[in-house]
Amino acid sequence: MGQNSSFEPLKPVAPRTRAVLGVGFFVLFIAVWAAATLGGFIKPLFLADPVKTFAAGYRLFTEYGFLSDIGITVYRVMGGFVLAMIVGLPLGIAMGAFKPIEAFFGPFVSFARYLPASAFIPLLILWAGVGEAQKLLVIFIGSVFQIVLMVAVIIGETRRDLMEAALTLGASRRGVVTRVLLPNASPQIAETLRLVLGWAWTYVIVAELVGADSGIGHMIMDSQRFLDTGQMIFGIFIIGVIGLITDFAFRAINVWLFPWYAGR
């Protein structure tokens, strides 16, 4: 028993064990980091030690108004992402449900999906300047095609027999879409949005490294000029923390919204 029986495939772990294990790796990670830097194995110029990093972080908040940088970055990510959702969700659903629409948009979306959002930055600066519109557009371009494609696939994979059951119960075309395809796909769509939001975070930082005067990315860029690895690492660390929080929030919302969903 004990050890062996915990390692059954797909067997869930108790919430407590789960929390301990999850926190455990963070502790290990910081311990290795501390050992490598404080132990003198890595030069401080390349990698600040944990103590310096968190001290730099404290100063960022108290002296440099880092909170407003975080605020503006979160605003950019969410703004671009919500725009991408507004366009991507309906289009993806329409493509998944109706094959002629998929045939029309599908190839273009597949093509556009491979265009790296960061490569658009110089062009977008030309078109939209270095203001907020440009930042939002980078996120939008980076997210929208992914959302469209993944949502179309999820909707298209709806079990045929569920749709047929609805038809024999008298469901109209509209009824099939709104009362079968959509609710059936919702949990997986929510999961997809969670993933794409993660990618949106990588685009926003790139957008802020070039032509921005605020935001977490801009702060990291600034710190590089002063070779302040502590600040740089702290900036990256904060992005991770925000990602972690949104992930947890998303998951909690999904569990709450889709109690019927067993595929977790």
List of residues contacting another protein (CB under 8 A): 159, 161-162, 164-172, 175, 179-180, 183-184, 186, 258-262
> Which CB, 167 or 209, lies closer to another protein?
167
| CA 111 vs CA 6, 91, 100, 136, 145: distances in Å | 44, 16, 18, 21, 9
Residues 119 and 132: their CA atoms lie apart, in Å, by 18
Nearer residue to another protein within complex by CB, 5 or 168: 168
Nearest distance from C-beta of residue 243 to another protein, angstroms: 29
φ, ψ dihedrals at 61, nearest 5°: -70, -45
> In the bound complex, what is the minimum distance in angstroms from residue 150's beta carbon to another protein?
20
Cα–Cα distances in angstroms (integers) from residue 72 to residues 61, 112, 206, 224, in the given order? 14, 27, 14, 20
Q: How far is the CB of 86 from another protein (least distance, A)?
A: 24
Give 169 or 241: the residue with its C-beta nearer to another protein.
169
Structure tokens of 179?
Answer: 């009362």
- Closest distance to another protein from the beta carbon of 85 (Å): 21
Measure the CA–CA gap between 65 and 86, rounded to whole angstroms.
32
Q: What angle do CA 253, 257, 261 make, to 5 degrees?
A: 110
Which two tokens mark 100? 């002629």
Shortest reach from residue 167's CB to another protein, in Å? 4
Smallest separation, CB 93 to another protein (Å)? 16
Sign of the Cα torsion 131, 219, 244, 47 reads: positive
Is residue 121 within 8 Å of 207, Cβ to Cβ? yes
CB nearer another protein, residue 119 or residue 255: 255
Alpha-carbon Rg for the chain in angstroms? 23
Nearer to another protein, 83 or 167 (CB): 167
Nearer of residues 53 and 184 to another protein, judged by Cβ: 184
